[in-house]
Structure formats: C-alpha cells, structure tokens
C-alpha cells in the first residue's frame, strides 16, 4: 500500500469481545501479520449519534455538543470529510442518514438526500440509507460502487445490522453473534479487492451492546469496541492496552497523510507497538 487512500469501516454496535471471538477473517489477517487489533474505550454517552461525531471529528461530547441521538443539526466541528476536502482530496460514504445530518443536510429528506453528489459539500459523494435493517450486503455494494466510480481518497462505510440485531435480540443471542459472523464474511469478500486497489483499512465500532439489548451506559459491554488496522504504517499484532476513542480520528488523518484538526488529540497510537499474535 504505497498511497494514502483509506477505507474506514464502522460496524455499529459491535462489542470488543464478540469481535474477538467471532471475526475469523479479520483475525486470520492479524495472525499472519497483515493487520493489527486494538481495544478501544468509547466516549460517553455510549450512544450512536454522539459517537459518530466523536469518530469523525475526534472531539468529546462536552466540546462538540452532540449530546444525544435527538441532537439533529449539522456539526460545529471539522470532520474527516471537511479535512480531506480542505486538503484537495476526494471523499465518499455509504452510511446511515444520521451521518448526512451531521455533515451535509439536516434534517434528512429521504426523497432528496438518499444519493448526494456535490463536491462543494463536506461529504462529496454519498449514498445514505434510512432503515436500520437495510442489508449490510447492499450497503457494501453501495460502498464498492462509490469506490469504483469515484476512487475516493477517504471512503467511510457505516454498517447497521449488528446494532439492529443487538437491539432486537440482545448481545447475548444467536442472532447477534451470527450477524457478527455475517459481517466478517462480507469483509472477507470486499477487503481483498479494496486492498488490491491500494486502500488502507480501518475497522471499528461506535459502541457495544448489552445483554439487555441496549447501550448508553458505562460498562465494558457498552463501551469496549475493536479497532482493526490494515496498513504498512501501523505495526501488525495485538495491543492489549485499551486506547481512547478520541485517537481514531487523528489516526485516520495520519493514514491519510493530512494534518489533524486543532481540536483533535495528539496522536499516540503510533508510538505503541502491538505484540505478535
């Protein structure tokens, strides 16, 4: 991977421990020295919309003001979309509609905003879904279309099916675990193609999921999520130490080869070498 292109994949609602036990393809890459795995502690509250903002701007809730899922407005921060556009790079996303409401259009209009193509917007090329059960297979097909059509320097992919099944059946269910297996199988299909095209890969989650079928609290089930990285800029292996979710956005900037925003934390992840699996 000789360029700075990055595909950042966010698997909504994926617990760290379930990722470790059920994502066989990703751990195959870790075992063979092709990927690294980190444990991340999410910011609080461990809710979706606030953590989308955390992941994409690197700012905590008390700074960005996106305090809950009902905060429907454009972000006041510089996101990875803003930063890539500022540096003359191209970006694209296949995401849940809340991402559009944070960075392009709020409130979201399904008839107007499902497909967005506007290089003057923070998100330049977007395909947005608005049903939590929108199939992940379709979502990754959307993402692959954007990658093939536009060749974005930064591609953000936001999957919702793991979170949806967690709410319906709880994290302690066959359905939740099987959905994680299904996501891993999709990644086993698309990642080799994207890597062959020169993309670095980041895979993480916003929050976890409890045995009550919810999230928002302070437990490890709510907050501990995985971060997998496939890049020659990050040493392969497993880092057992827990890192802050505020490190994800500046790490993405590092992989993209662009300056982080002034509001982001200094990057420390690259100073820590994962151990061999």
The structure's pTM equals 0.97
Backbone angles phi, psi at 94, to 5 degrees: -115, 110
* Residue 16's pLDDT band (cuts 50, 70, 90): very high
pLDDT in tens, 79-130: 999 999 999 999 999 999 999 999 999 999 999 999 999 999 999 999 999 9
Cα 56 from Cα 270, distance rounded (Å): 19
The share of the chain scoring above pLDDT 90, in percent, equals 95
CATH architecture of 6-271: 3-Layer(aba) Sandwich (3.40)
- What is the Cβ-side half-sphere exposure of residue 5, based on CA atoms within 13 angstroms? 18
3-class DSSP assignment, residue 260: coil
Which of 166, 97, 179 is closest to 136 using CA atoms?
179
pLDDT in tens, 197-218: 999 999 999 999 999 999 999 9
Mean pLDDT of the chain: 96
Cα 88 from Cα 107, distance rounded (Å): 27
* Residue 14's pLDDT band (cuts 50, 70, 90): very high
pLDDT at 1 over 50: no
pLDDT at 273 over 90: no
pLDDT at 239 over 60: yes
pLDDT at 2 over 60: no
């Amino acid at each position: 991977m000789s360029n700075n292109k990055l595909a950042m994949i966010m698997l909504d609602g994926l617990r760290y421990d379930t990722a470790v036990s059920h994502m066989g393809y990703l751990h195959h890459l870790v075992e063979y020295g092709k990927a690294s795995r980190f444990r991340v502690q999410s910011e609080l509250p461990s809710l979706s919309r606030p953590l989308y903002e955390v992941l994409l701007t690197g700012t905590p809730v008390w700074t960005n003001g996106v305090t809950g899922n009902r905060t429907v407005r454009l972000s006041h921060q510089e996101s990875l979309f803003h930063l890539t556009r500022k540096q003359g790079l191209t970006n694209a996303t296949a995401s849940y509609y809340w991402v559009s409401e944070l960075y392009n259009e709020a409130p979201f209009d399904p008839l107007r905003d499902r497909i967005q193509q506007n290089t003057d917007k923070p998100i330049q090329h977007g395909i947005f879904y608005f049903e939590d059960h929108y199939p992940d297979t379709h979502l990754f097909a959307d993402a692959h279309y954007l990658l093939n059509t536009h060749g974005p320097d930064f591609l953000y992919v936001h999957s919702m099916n793991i979170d949806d099944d967690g709410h319906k059946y709880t994290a302690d269910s066959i359905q939740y675990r099987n959905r994680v297996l299904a996501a891993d199988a999709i990644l086993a299909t698309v990642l080799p193609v994207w890597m062959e095209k020169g993309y670095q890969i980041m895979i993480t989650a916003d929050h976890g999921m409890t045995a009550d079928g919810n999230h928002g609290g302070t437990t490890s089930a709510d907050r501990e999520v995985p971060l997998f990285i496939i890049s020659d800029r990050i040493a392969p292996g497993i880092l057992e130490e827990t890192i802050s979710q505020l490190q994800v956005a500046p790490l993405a900037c590092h992989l993209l080869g662009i300056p982080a925003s002034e509001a982001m934390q200094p990057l420390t992840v690259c100073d820590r070498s994962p151990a061999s699996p």
